Chain A
Amino acid sequence: MVIGSAMIAFLLLGLAAPLGRRRPAVAGLVHLACLPPSLLLLALGLMHLAAPPGTPPQIITLPLGLPGLAGHWRLDRLSAFFLLVVNLPAVLAGLYGLGYAPHLPRPGRVAPFLPLFLLGMNGVLLADDAFSFLLAWEFMSLTSWLLVVADDGNPEAGKAGLTYLSMAAFGGFCLLAAFALMAADGGSFDFALLRAHPGGGGGVLAVLLVLLGTGSKAGMVPLHPWLPLAHPAAPSHASALMSGVMTKVALYGLIRILFDLQPVLGWQWGFALMLLGAATALTGVFYALMQRDLKVLLAYSTVENVGLILVALGLAAAFRAYDQPALAALALVAALYHVLNHSLIKSLLFLGAGAVVSATGERDINRLGGLLNRMPVTGACFLAGACAISALPPLNGFVSEWLVFQSLFHAPSLSHWAMRFGVPVVGVALALAAAFAAVCFVRAFGTVFLGRPRSAAAAAAREAPLSLQLAQVVPAALCLGLGIFPVLVSGGLASVVAPLLRVRLPTALLGWPWLSPIAPGAGSYSALMLLLTGVALAITTVLVVHHFGSQRTRRAPVWDCGTPCALPEAQYSADSFSQPLRRVFGRPLLAARELIDMPAPGDTAPARFRLEIRDPLWDGLYARLIRLVNRLADRVNRLQSLTVRHYLLMMFWTLVAGLVIVAVRPPL
């Protein structure tokens, strides 16, 4: 009932919004109107999570869908948790859009699609049969694509949209085929029936297809190249939703299928997922480290975090296969904790980036600087986000990373040699990724908010309007809250995981302030105690310093070695900051080359510096693929003349046709 009304509200909003497309204010109102349904779904999710253990899932069947196939919708703890993950940032994005959307170049092209996008994402979470799931999934893809291409003045956005669209189509097909295979074995599209016949499952191919389908949407390497193109192209609050939330919806699909519908998997799958996750995390963070565009940087950072979650999911799958449900639960809790954290942090960071971009019109971090003095609230919130995503205690990012490391470090001697070598190697990869993430965000925050302005636009920046500030303060506060009270969250997550793994993880063996999930002596963490001790020490320090020391402070010009140099270049640029890492790791990973042309002494000709960076993955895989597709396209000459709209139409009909074929086919 509640779900239905919320969904209909989204739909109506989406349909009504185009009516006011000529008036920018309407775009703001549409965003405002997104708040109640989002809040409603948020409350629903919370209520379901708060229900006592053993409460059955809510199931709704609607007479919608294909002939003979009713639409099944279901709200269980996993969905409820993800409702939280989706709608919390949605509320923030709505709030943000209220002040932000009217100033977009084409507000009329954003306002209608945001509610529809939310509708799609919520739909995926609640779907309980393959048809509804795929329908919602494709709906989510299409509406997000429309958000990506909303700024039609930008040729980059067009290219990003095309790449995204092809990848989304690929992912959709994979999922479709996977469900077809599963249904062929399990006999039905209904998730309930699939769940009832575990192990039926279409075998290796189906799981592989699921991995490809959801992985491509989540940004798993090597299916990620669309993500850093598409996410930043959308308006910032939509970027926040795509990066912070849509990737999580994709992971929801993976968790739903791997841990709920197809729970019987060999350890090899977990192992593969771990390795893929490690590769994803490292690639993502390394590329993030090289970016100049603030939003692209954040998008690559999403790839990294998805990798971290994938590692945890892989560990969970492997532990489950080894029949160690407690550790599996720990890993899964870690994964879900990070899902929640990252959705918040990434939303926060994208909203902050949006505030910066709209205040300066600049996305190149090499042209920003010194914004902390001019945009104190945005700066402080972005700092909180940067600290959280760099896994600094006492913020939330550290808790989930701690849990992931705990589950990794306490992996018992797994019986297969591959796991014995693989787990430490994955540990190294995660540790490197975590360290790189800190470098990446020191670099990002340092060049954008600290130092002196590197352009006139940065020097003239003004703080964002109130609604934008509010939309950043709330998640920043939540990051702190989720970090200080980890036991509350992990307790809730344990109840989400319990039905899937049939074991309830004790998260606080030492009592409520201590996160202690494994054994009383095995390593525990209490953010609250650390924080309180830290505060006590800080107060002591301040008192001592102020009692015994001088309190006078004087402002003076920076120490410039005696030569005043007002050039903004006389401070490190973002590229320079990451150059040592680029030099050490960039040669193998990016084929990075520095070409320096230094004239002889006394020669007044300019010295020249050029940096060559190529993406070996793009060159090696996608560029070839594109060439192949181009050749194919030449053959199918007729199709070339179609417009994008026709392609979309074709995609949709192929989807429907595929479903129909599978539906009418008699079970084997």
Chain B
Amino acid sequence: MLGNTTLTEFLDGLRTVPQHQPWPRHLLDERAWMDLLHQLAESDWTLLGLWADGGEVHAALRDEEDGAVAVASLSCPERKYPSLSEVRPGAIRLERALRDLWGITPVGLSDPRPWLDHGRWPVSRPLALPRGPAPETPVDYPFLPVEGEALHIIPVGPVHAGVIEPGHFRFTCSGESVVRLEARLGYTHKGVEELMAGKPLAEAAKLAARLSGDSTVAYSLAFARAVEAATASEAPPRAHWLRALMAELERIANHLLDVGGVCNDAAFPVMLAHCTTLREEVLRANAACFGHRLLMDRILPGGVSHDLTREGGATLRKLCATLAQRLNILVDIYDDLPSLQDRTVGTGIVRPALARRFGAGGVVGRASMQGGDARKAVAYPPYDELDFAVPTQPLGDVNARIWQRIEELRESLSLVNQLMDGMPGGPLTRPIPTRGGEGMALVEGFRGEILLWLRLSEAGKVVRCHPRDPSWFQWPLLEAAIENNIVADFPLCNKSFNCSYSGVDL
């Protein structure tokens, strides 16, 4: 069994679920699951996601050699299953969340602490049937141990000094030197998965668009694609192109803010001011062309809600031209400014091996030599027809992550132009047939690859929907990036990661 088996070979012959699209889902028994664990230890298949549905645990995997994607499922009537965390540390937090929400125990998970459940909900195991009783007292969360004399603790958050999302970071330090950093999240847990269950598609799409406000296009797209997969339908071509256009506009707006934000955290506000101004132009163009600054609720299952008018197209072309020109000035300034480079170069290094181990994608992964990009790997339309590169950086420091964003910005600007040039005509939506099924989508958001899996009832309602944010696999790396850095450099590292809280907390 071991050796250079491909994922497809490995899963071949196992029972397959009929209505799972577009990738196969295989049903594993306990022994096959154990074989999978052993195989994972040998192979470098990427763990794409891990979630539960009723009494089943699903693990989505991808073989990077041939790009094959598959879901492995294990039925666990005793509400426990062998943990993946040993072979894929990226699974640790997913499994902790799974235990909190579904009450399914990952056997062999070394971390017994809850993750999303802070002990403040009126229920426990909210997604399990039956739900558990409310805890009597909030969880007394033990942080990981640190040994050493006269260390001090800096508890930061969930209410931060800046305008950012809530999360708790606990530094154990000797003066400025960080001995351990641990993040505790879950503060923005809104119970989206539970809210989505039983909702009609339109309402569920609205929730999907609000999983993470900065990735609203990407999540809407992922939701729409998953629904379309589950119902074996397809959006019209123009909708595909408009969706890609919105996705690239979202990427541009967010990357601009991040580049400026990192510089601002190094106390160079001029860059942020210019980046914010540019971003504002993008948002206003969004509002002018599609009617919403952040493009919320513009992508729906079956198509898109707004068309791009001729004037809108002209606006966007002009926007791209000015953006490209003004971005170049800002890039030159960043490149020229030793005081700024001194802050970013060599700070917050993520080693490529570690990024690979956690299966981190997106800006964080690509800045550490990881090449994955769903637009290329999955090549969903219209990206299969577009010409673009997926840049990577070798060094994995803050500087690399800034350059990664700059280069992605340039690619996106070129993509917007290509999309304007090749935009096909035709209808905007196609009705979604009312039928059941299981669908999965992989979509590249500005942070990285979003996975969204859902199961629809025959009545066309959402039974279970699991969105997996790219930050699940990026957050843990932040705890390693702080190594050999001082407390004062953490905001820079954190900003350069810019992981999602809301998307991860669900």
Whether A600 pairs with B150 at a CB distance below 8 angstroms is no
A608 to chain B minimum Cβ distance, whole angstroms, is: 5
B148: which of A292, A579, A608 is its contact (CB, 8 Å)?
A608
**For B179, what are the chain A residues with a Cβ–Cβ distance below 8 Å?**
596, 598, 607-609
Please encode chain A, from 546 to 571, with 1 for each CB lying within 8 Å of some chain B CB and 0 for all others.
00000000000000111101010111
**For A563, what are the chain B residues with a Cβ–Cβ distance below 8 Å?**
155, 157-158, 168
CA–CA, A590 to B160, complex, Å? 37
CA–CA, A607 to B148, complex, Å? 8
Residue of A whose beta carbon sits closest to that of B475? A601
Answer yes or no: A580 CB below 8 A from chain B CBs. Answer: yes
**For A643, what are the chain B residues with a Cβ–Cβ distance below 8 Å?**
none
Which of B9-17, B139-147, B325-333, B456-464 interfaces with chain A? B139-147
Whether B354 pairs with A602 at a CB distance below 8 angstroms is no
Whether B175 pairs with A583 at a CB distance below 8 angstroms is yes
Answer yes or no: A582 CB below 8 A from chain B CBs. Answer: yes
Answer yes or no: B52 CB below 8 A from chain A CBs. Answer: no
B39 to chain A minimum Cβ distance, whole angstroms, is: 21
CA–CA, A245 to B366, complex, Å? 67
Which of B56-64, B212-220, B476-484 interfaces with chain A? B476-484
**For B93, what are the chain A residues with a Cβ–Cβ distance below 8 Å?**
602
**For A610, what are the chain B residues with a Cβ–Cβ distance below 8 Å?**
148
CA–CA, A576 to B150, complex, Å? 7
Of listed B93, B153, B174, B480, residue having the most chain A CB within 10 A: B174
CA–CA, A599 to B147, complex, Å? 12
B151: which of A292, A560, A576, A602 is its contact (CB, 8 Å)?
A576
Answer yes or no: B92 CB below 8 A from chain A CBs. Answer: yes
A561 to chain B minimum Cβ distance, whole angstroms, is: 5
CA–CA, A571 to B155, complex, Å? 9
CA–CA, A596 to B145, complex, Å? 14
A266 to chain B minimum Cβ distance, whole angstroms, is: 46
Answer yes or no: B134 CB below 8 A from chain A CBs. Answer: no
Q: With A570-B154, A573-B152 as given contacts, are A594 and B177 in contact (CB-CB < 8 Å)?
A: yes
Answer yes or no: A572 CB below 8 A from chain B CBs. Answer: yes
Answer yes or no: B123 CB below 8 A from chain A CBs. Answer: no
Whether A576 pairs with B155 at a CB distance below 8 angstroms is no
Q: With A604-B111, A607-B147 as given contacts, are A583 and B177 in contact (CB-CB < 8 Å)?
A: yes
**For B254, what are the chain A residues with a Cβ–Cβ distance below 8 Å?**
none
Q: With A565-B155, A576-B150 as given contacts, are A607 and B172 in contact (CB-CB < 8 Å)?
A: yes
Whether A562 pairs with B177 at a CB distance below 8 angstroms is no
Answer yes or no: A185 CB below 8 A from chain B CBs. Answer: no
Answer yes or no: B110 CB below 8 A from chain A CBs. Answer: yes
**For A579, what are the chain B residues with a Cβ–Cβ distance below 8 Å?**
174-177
Whether A583 pairs with B157 at a CB distance below 8 angstroms is no
CA–CA, A561 to B148, complex, Å? 25
Answer yes or no: A62 CB below 8 A from chain B CBs. Answer: no
B175 to chain A minimum Cβ distance, whole angstroms, is: 2
Answer yes or no: A155 CB below 8 A from chain B CBs. Answer: no
A366 to chain B minimum Cβ distance, whole angstroms, is: 5
Answer yes or no: B296 CB below 8 A from chain A CBs. Answer: no
**For A561, what are the chain B residues with a Cβ–Cβ distance below 8 Å?**
155-160, 168
Answer yes or no: A578 CB below 8 A from chain B CBs. Answer: yes
Answer yes or no: A606 CB below 8 A from chain B CBs. Answer: yes
**For B85, what are the chain A residues with a Cβ–Cβ distance below 8 Å?**
602
Answer yes or no: B317 CB below 8 A from chain A CBs. Answer: no
Whether B176 pairs with A560 at a CB distance below 8 angstroms is no
Whether A609 pairs with B176 at a CB distance below 8 angstroms is no
Whether A583 pairs with B158 at a CB distance below 8 angstroms is no
Whether A609 pairs with B148 at a CB distance below 8 angstroms is yes
Whether A602 pairs with B89 at a CB distance below 8 angstroms is yes
**For B160, what are the chain A residues with a Cβ–Cβ distance below 8 Å?**
561
Q: With A562-B157, A576-B174, A607-B147 as given contacts, are A602 and B92 in contact (CB-CB < 8 Å)?
A: yes
Q: With A563-B168, A600-B354, A602-B85 as given contacts, are A580 and B147 in contact (CB-CB < 8 Å)?
A: no
A607: which of B89, B145, B153 is its contact (CB, 8 Å)?
B145
Whether B476 pairs with A601 at a CB distance below 8 angstroms is yes
B330 to chain A minimum Cβ distance, whole angstroms, is: 33
CA–CA, A289 to B243, complex, Å? 62
Interface residues of B in 85-105 (CB under 8 A from A): 85, 89, 92-93
Answer yes or no: B149 CB below 8 A from chain A CBs. Answer: yes
Residue of B whose beta carbon sits closest to that of A574? B150
Answer yes or no: A362 CB below 8 A from chain B CBs. Answer: no
A52 to chain B minimum Cβ distance, whole angstroms, is: 57
**For A113, what are the chain B residues with a Cβ–Cβ distance below 8 Å?**
none
A223 to chain B minimum Cβ distance, whole angstroms, is: 30
Q: Using C-beta atoms within 8 Å of the partner chain, give the interface range for chain A.
A: 35 or more
A634 to chain B minimum Cβ distance, whole angstroms, is: 37
Answer yes or no: B293 CB below 8 A from chain A CBs. Answer: no
Whether A598 pairs with B483 at a CB distance below 8 angstroms is yes
A606: which of B145, B152, B159 is its contact (CB, 8 Å)?
B145
A607 to chain B minimum Cβ distance, whole angstroms, is: 4
B153: which of A562, A565, A577 is its contact (CB, 8 Å)?
A565
CA–CA, A231 to B53, complex, Å? 71
CA–CA, A576 to B166, complex, Å? 27
Whether A600 pairs with B480 at a CB distance below 8 angstroms is yes
**For B406, what are the chain A residues with a Cβ–Cβ distance below 8 Å?**
none
Answer yes or no: B180 CB below 8 A from chain A CBs. Answer: yes
**For B151, what are the chain A residues with a Cβ–Cβ distance below 8 Å?**
569, 573, 575-576, 609
A425 to chain B minimum Cβ distance, whole angstroms, is: 29
Answer yes or no: B493 CB below 8 A from chain A CBs. Answer: no
A23 to chain B minimum Cβ distance, whole angstroms, is: 41
A597 to chain B minimum Cβ distance, whole angstroms, is: 8
A595 to chain B minimum Cβ distance, whole angstroms, is: 9
**For B476, what are the chain A residues with a Cβ–Cβ distance below 8 Å?**
601-602
B52 to chain A minimum Cβ distance, whole angstroms, is: 20
Whether A601 pairs with B480 at a CB distance below 8 angstroms is yes
Residue of A whose beta carbon sits closest to that of B92? A602
Residue of A whose beta carbon sits closest to that of B141? A563
Residue of B whose beta carbon sits closest to that of A366? B150
Answer yes or no: A418 CB below 8 A from chain B CBs. Answer: no
**For A580, what are the chain B residues with a Cβ–Cβ distance below 8 Å?**
175-176
Whether A601 pairs with B479 at a CB distance below 8 angstroms is yes
Whether A596 pairs with B177 at a CB distance below 8 angstroms is yes
CA–CA, A571 to B173, complex, Å? 11
Whether A609 pairs with B147 at a CB distance below 8 angstroms is yes
Whether B175 pairs with A577 at a CB distance below 8 angstroms is yes
CA–CA, A41 to B86, complex, Å? 79
CA–CA, A562 to B188, complex, Å? 14
Answer yes or no: A611 CB below 8 A from chain B CBs. Answer: yes
Whether B174 pairs with A570 at a CB distance below 8 angstroms is no
Residue of A whose beta carbon sits closest to that of B482? A598
**For A596, what are the chain B residues with a Cβ–Cβ distance below 8 Å?**
177-179, 483
**For B480, what are the chain A residues with a Cβ–Cβ distance below 8 Å?**
598, 600-601
CA–CA, A562 to B158, complex, Å? 6
Q: With A561-B158, A604-B110 as given contacts, are A576 and B146 in contact (CB-CB < 8 Å)?
A: no
Residue of B whose beta carbon sits closest to that of A600? B480
B332 to chain A minimum Cβ distance, whole angstroms, is: 34
Whether A602 pairs with B174 at a CB distance below 8 angstroms is no
Q: With A583-B177, A601-B477 as given contacts, are A609 and B155 in contact (CB-CB < 8 Å)?
A: no
Answer yes or no: B358 CB below 8 A from chain A CBs. Answer: yes
A443 to chain B minimum Cβ distance, whole angstroms, is: 11
CA–CA, A609 to B175, complex, Å? 12
B36 to chain A minimum Cβ distance, whole angstroms, is: 20
A interface, CB within 8 angstroms of B: 292, 366, 560-563, 565, 567, 569-580, 582-583, 594, 596, 598-602, 604, 606-611
20 contacts across the A-B interface (CB closer than 8 A):
A292-B150, A562-B157, A563-B157, A569-B153, A570-B154, A575-B151, A575-B174, A577-B175, A578-B175, A579-B176, A594-B177, A596-B483, A601-B358, A602-B93, A606-B146, A606-B147, A607-B180, A608-B179, A609-B174, A610-B148
9 nearest A-B residue pairs (beta carbon): A579-B175, A609-B148, A601-B476, A575-B150, A607-B180, A606-B145, A562-B159, A573-B150, A601-B479
Beyond A366-B149, A604-B144, 12 additional contacts (C-beta under 8 Å) are A563-B158, A574-B150, A575-B151, A579-B176, A601-B358, A601-B480, A602-B92, A602-B476, A606-B144, A608-B146, A609-B149, A609-B151
